[in-house]
Amino acid sequence: MTTETMLSVSGLSKSFKSVKAVRDVSFAIPRGKTFGLVGESGSGKSTTARLVLRLVEPSAGKIAFRGRDLSTLSSSELRRERRHMQMIFQDPFGSLNPRMSVRDTLVEPQFVHGIGTAAEQLKTAERLLAEVSLPRAALDRYPHEFSGGQRQRIAIARALSTNPDLIVADEPVSALDVSVQAQVLNLMRDLQDRHGTTMLFISHDLRVVQFMCDEIGVMYLGEIVEQGPRDRIYNAPSHPYTKALLASVPGKGSGQRARLSGEIPSAHAVPSGCAFRTRCPHAFERCSSEKPAMREIGNGQRAACHLLDKAMAA
């Protein structure tokens, strides 16, 4: 394949004082594709999203966006680059300025980045509103006049207003009811098809990630433990954590529920060796002494687990 790589992240790490929030995360997203980061709370997926946009400064690692290393950009260059990367947040109530009308919300990013004349900006706003299936009359209304799903549509329209190459969506449908969630997910897929936008999609919901993403990275305690094409992850998971996560999804009968013991350890005290070993049903001595390396499994699937060595040696 010769598709252009839109975003490539390598060795990305972030520590807040003693907390290692993100450790050595690497992935790449080809243009027009969606990469999903899935994990439980404390897995570092949201921090990764913010690191990618340099909303949070990474402690280490490289972020290449459209072929340019973001970490080397000056703040003014970065500001210019921001036009091409937008974010959609989880909370449609908090992420829209309550004092800004929908018109201003959609025009402002274009104005900030100096895109088009005032008339063109307004035209874009109107077009985007139609694209997210909101009536033109919505332009002069304020966020509190809309339902949660409608607000998220406005947030999507705002993200699209600068015609970005990359959208980072952090739990965009988690706050929505199921019926509305489906509307917004469909909308995001349609818009992505139409605009060819590349997407980094963050969610704790495996069902949603499966629907939205081409490639998936499973995060645990700040690290990607397994990544690969969607179908491989869902149909042939190889890391015990991925298996447990998939088995925990409700809807397969209570007998099928995975019984993963314990809870995610604190990021202050990451276990030695494999971070997952304290909850892993298969952990053995080597897991506490040696950190498993990411290894290729085939078909683009990779995982970090000593069991894979065992399986291959056997």
135 binds other proteins (CB under 8 A): no
Number of residues forming the site for other proteins (CB under 8 A): 41
**Position among 44, 109, 149, 237 found at the interface with other proteins (CB under 8 A):** 149
Q: Does 186 bind other proteins (CB under 8 A)?
A: yes
Smallest separation (angstroms) from other proteins to the CB of 248: 4
* Cβ-based nearer residue to other proteins, 110 or 210: 210
222 binds other proteins (CB under 8 A): no
Nearer to other proteins, 79 or 252 (CB): 252
Nearest to 112 by CA among 150, 133, 82, 141: 82
142's torsion region: left (phi>0), alpha (psi -120 to 50) or beta?
beta
Q: Which stretch binds other proteins (CB under 8 A): 2-10, 63-71, 243-251, 285-293?
A: 243-251
Pairwise CA distance, residues 161 & 96, whole Å: 14
Q: What is the phi-psi region of residue 70: left when phi exceeds 0, alpha when psi lies from -120 to 50, beta otherwise?
A: alpha
Q: Which of 127, 207, 282, 310 binds other proteins (CB under 8 A)?
A: 207
Pick the piece of the chain touching other proteins (CB under 8 A) from 90-98, 256-264, 295-303, 306-314: 256-264
C-beta of 113 vs 204, nearer to other proteins? 204
Helix, strand and coil in the chain, % to nearest 5: 40, 25, 40
DSSP H helical ranges for the chain: 45-52, 75-82, 102-112, 118-131, 148-160, 178-195, 206-212, 230-235, 240-248, 285-289, 306-313
Q: Between residues 47 and 86, which has the closer beta carbon with respect to other proteins? A: 47
Nearest distance, CB of residue 255 and other proteins, angstroms = 9
Q: Does residue 212 contact residue 188 with C-beta atoms inside 8 Å?
A: yes
Task: Output the smallest distance, CB 67 to other proteins, in A.
Answer: 30
Burial group, residue 108, by CB count within 10 angstroms (0-12, 13-18, 19+): middle
Which range, of 16-24, 113-121, 242-250, 303-311, touches other proteins by CB under 8 A? 242-250
- Number of CB atoms found within 10 A of residue 290's CB: 12
Task: Return the number of the residue (162 or 192) whose C-beta is nearest other proteins.
Answer: 192
Does 253 bind other proteins (CB under 8 A)? Our answer is yes
Residue 250 in contact with other proteins, rule: CB under 8 A? yes
Nearest Cα to 125, choosing from 112, 142, 141, 108?
108
Regarding 41 and contact with other proteins (CB under 8 A), the answer is: yes
Compute the Cα dihedral for 131, 137, 143, 146 and give only its sign. negative
Answer for the pair 197, 159: CB distance below 8 angstroms, yes or no. Answer: no
In the complex with other proteins, which residue's Cβ is closer, 162 or 181?
181
Q: 181 or 238, CB closer to other proteins?
A: 181
What tokens does 272 get? 């030695």
* Site for other proteins, rule CB under 8 A: 40-41, 147, 149-150, 177-183, 185-186, 189, 204, 206-208, 210-211, 234-235, 244-245, 247-254, 257-261, 263-264, 279
